[in-house]
Amino acid sequence: MNKAYNPVWARNEALRTAAQSWHRRGLLPLPQLQAIREAYPLDFYRPNIYLRILLFLLTTLGYLAAGGFVALFAYDLFDSVVPWREQAKIGVVALLAALAGQFVLYGIIKLSRTYRAGSDQALLYLSLSFAGTALYCFVLMLFPASTDLFTLTSPYLALWLVLVLALLLWATARFGDALVAALAYVVALLLLANALLQLTAGRLVLPFAVMALAAGLYRLVRYLAARTDYWYYRTCFVALEVLALATFYLGGNYLVVREGNAAIGGLLVSEPIPFAPVFYLLTALIPLFYLYQGLRRPSRIWLLTGLATLAFSGYTLRFYHSVLPPAVAGALLGAFLIGLMAAALRYLRTPRHGLTAAPNNDAGERPGLNLEALVVAQTAHAPQAPEPGLQFGGGQSGGGGAQGQY
Amino acid sequence: MRAAPFIAELRDRGRLTPEQAAAIETDERTRPFSLHYEIRTLLYLGITLLSGGLGVLIYEHLDELGHGVVVAVVALLTAACFAYAARHRPPFSWGLVAGSSLLADYLLLLGCLLFLVLEGYLQAQYALFGTRYGLALALPAGLFFYLAYRFDHRGVLSMAITALAAWVGLSVEPLAVFKNEFLTGSVSRAAIAVGALLLLGGWLSETRHRKVHFAYTYLLLGGNLLLGTATAAMFTEVLQPLALLVILILAVSAGLFWYGRRVHSHLFLLLGATYGYVALTYGLAQLLSATGLNIVLALGLYYFIGSTVAAVWFLTHLKRLAGTAAHEQGL
């Protein structure tokens, strides 16, 4: 599979980042750092974030406008020349738009050397959407006019999903884009659900099948990360690893399984599910396992996913059982967190088990610390008791943090 | 370890001496994994939940709880937080105090939040300050300013500034200015005065080397307060004359822009450019419509095309304007 971007770009970028961090830690003098920078130039175009957003929006607008303009003519032409069905016309126009988008994308990467600069991403996402639309139209033509493709249980959906999955896998291999890779995984999940829901026992097996698929994806990511151009696909690997961990957890989460079961079955109010104790156990244990692994490996992906899933487990518990009034629960949880973090800080005063509480780059002040202090102080408002008749409102907005949001 | 091939390659190409390569390799292998930001985030979550939970609890059970118990518990917690922070206080200095304890920092913040809970409760229950509401806000403002300087804490400083502005008559949370519906002439004038005072404070701390790192908080809050109020006053026409107001906004925006270039901060550049652009556009539109000619619409089109081009130019040259590119090179 030939790659759309020059793979040297990704590698040089990673190498320069590594060299920069060595310099910050005092292992590499500045002249040497500059020599390394000259030896590994970043000769691609990627502006700052504001401009990237602007480029993305402008390219999207231009692409859609040009596409719509051409589509109008093409449509008229088809009407007068070939008496096709409606879907065929839309499909052909979408296919042409997708091909044109890919062509322009190829051109700007070759000529302007854009590398995730906003414009190339817009072209990639839009041309893939057009291609997906075209595939949808062509699949629809194969079946009688009354078939409804867009329900998860429809047996015709699988054909379209397989085609889209193939398309997305091709695009992932070529462009190494994290969003496309994540979308490909979502399509694979849909395909799995669609296949299982054809069977009567499918609904029962579905959670476990999702977990198995997530575990399989994790193995696959580890395998591919060791055997392909890691730096070119780094963002894909990170996104897929997070998604694998998240879906493994969600597949076993009691709330998701119960409400999902009700949604598939068309129930308005969810009812208790079979194997409930298993799901309770999974909901409780998977986050703890993630956290343990995150600290043991150590891996930030596992750790942060573990924290997020732990919060969701708490939400699951409170969704079905009101354990304590929210205010009491919040205050107790807050006190517990402060105590736990105090203990962690004390324990990690000297690094242990390869963990430390000190910041990563100890040389110089971290950028953004100022803003962080401001945000922390401005959002952590203590709600004040009402002060009757105070003209100017006292300046504090009440109850800021009691919802326990993340 | 993903960096191993890089080290080997750089060593083979002579960019690193073998000793350096060995040192970097050892560092990459043995460097402990930092939990700093996770701990910070969870601590922040903890103090938010605790102070918020306690505040709501007091609200809800105002009648059932024994007042003495509530006051005692919250006062005790506040005192404990302050005591912990005081015990781990760094020596005072006009510069940045390095190596202050993370936990003490957050407990100081929690102590301040609990102090507000306690004060609000005392006022609601016992009318401690009677109708002298000003005192109820001036007290925390004074206390927080002292604590911010003594413990070198920027978060507490921004709380102190908020209390100060509330004392003068409004809330200075960014953007909250626009939500206040009581934007009268006197309030606007007071807010502009406080904003100017804060800007002056920031400038003095920077030039006189009195807590240089506090300048950011002063200038950001003061600049937003002044420019936000002045812009809102300009649109609602509560302050006259308009020309003076526009000139004031343009001058302060230019000042922030200049400061942003000086300290290589994108944020101040963007702030100055945005407020300045809004004021300039509004001022020009008012000027043209005052002439009574019917050319506003025609000119407006060109003006917006021109300003789009200018915005693109500004964003493409942001790094060069802020001097961050050169700044990063020398980092």
Chain A contacts of B331, Cβ < 8 Å?
20, 23-24, 364
Q: What pLDDT is attached to residue A3?
A: 83
> Does A338 contact B at CB distance below 8 Å?
yes
Q: Is the pLDDT of residue A401 over 60?
A: no
How much is the pLDDT for B29?
Answer: 80
Tell if the CB–CB gap between A328 and B57 is shorter than 8 Å.
yes
Contact state of A330 with B52 under an 8 Å Cβ cutoff = yes
pLDDT at A366: 56
What is residue B275's predicted lDDT score, i.e. its pLDDT? 93
**Amino acid letter, B165:** A
B156 touches chain A (CB under 8 A): yes
> Of the candidates B229, B280, B225, which has an alpha carbon nearest to the alpha carbon of residue B251?
B280
Residue B63 confidence (pLDDT) above 80: no
Rounded Cα distance, A325 and A345, in Å: 30
Q: What are phi and psi of A340, to 5 degrees?
A: -65, -45
The verdict on a CB contact (< 8 Å) between B172 and A401 is no
B144 CB within 8 Å of a chain A CB? no
Token couple for B284: 């020009």
Interchain CB contact of B169 with A (< 8 Å): yes
What's the rounded mean pLDDT across residues A346-368? 70
> What's the CA gap between A131 and B145, in Å, rounded?
61
- Residue B33: strand pairing partners: A355
Q: Write out pLDDT tens, residues B163-201.
A: 888 777 644 444 444 555 556 667 788 888 889 999 999
Task: Give the whole-angstrom CA distance, residue A265 versus residue A122.
Answer: 38
DSSP-derived secondary structure letter, A352 = B
Q: How confident is the model at residue A285 (pLDDT cuts 50, 70, 90)?
A: very high
CA distance A305 to B166: 40
Tokens 């007071």 -> residue = B190
Of B27, B124, B155, the CB nearest to A376: B155
Q: Would you put residue A298 in left (φ > 0), alpha (ψ -120 to 50) or beta?
A: beta
A65 at B interface, C-beta within 8 A: no
Q: Do B44 and A380 lie within an 8 Å CB cutoff?
A: yes
Q: Classify the phi-psi angles of B325: left when phi > 0, otherwise alpha if psi is within -120 to 50, otherwise beta.
A: alpha
pLDDT tens digits, one per residue of B134-160: 777 788 888 889 888 888 888 888 888
Q: Is A351 on the interface with B (CB under 8 A)?
A: yes
Q: What is the mean pLDDT of residues A213-218?
A: 93
Nearest CB neighbour to A344, from listed B39, B49, B52:
B39
With b for 16 or more beta-carbon neighbours within 10 A and e for fewer, the A74-113 pattern comes to eeeebeeeeeeeebbbbbbbbbbbbebbbebbeebbeeeb
A364 pLDDT more than 60:
no
Question: How far is residue B260's CA from residue B322's CA, in Å, rounded to a whole number?
Answer: 7
DSSP state, residue A244: H
Q: Which of B10, B27, B172 has the CB atom closest to A25's CB atom? A: B27
pLDDT, residue A308, reads 92
Instruction: Read off the amino acid at residue A135.
Output: L
ipTM surpasses 0.90: no
Q: What gap in Å lies between CA B62 and CA B305, rounded to an integer? A: 59
pLDDT at B132: 67
**Nearest by CB: A334 against B49, B158, B172:** B49
B169 → closest Cβ in A19, A342, A392: A392
Per-residue pLDDT tens digits for A146-199: 566 667 777 778 888 899 999 999 999 899 899 999 999 999 999 998 888 888
In chain B, where are the structural domains located?
37-168
Is the CB of residue B87 less than 8 Å away from at least one CB of chain A? no
Query: Residue A370 and residue B217: Cβ atoms within 8 Å?
Result: yes
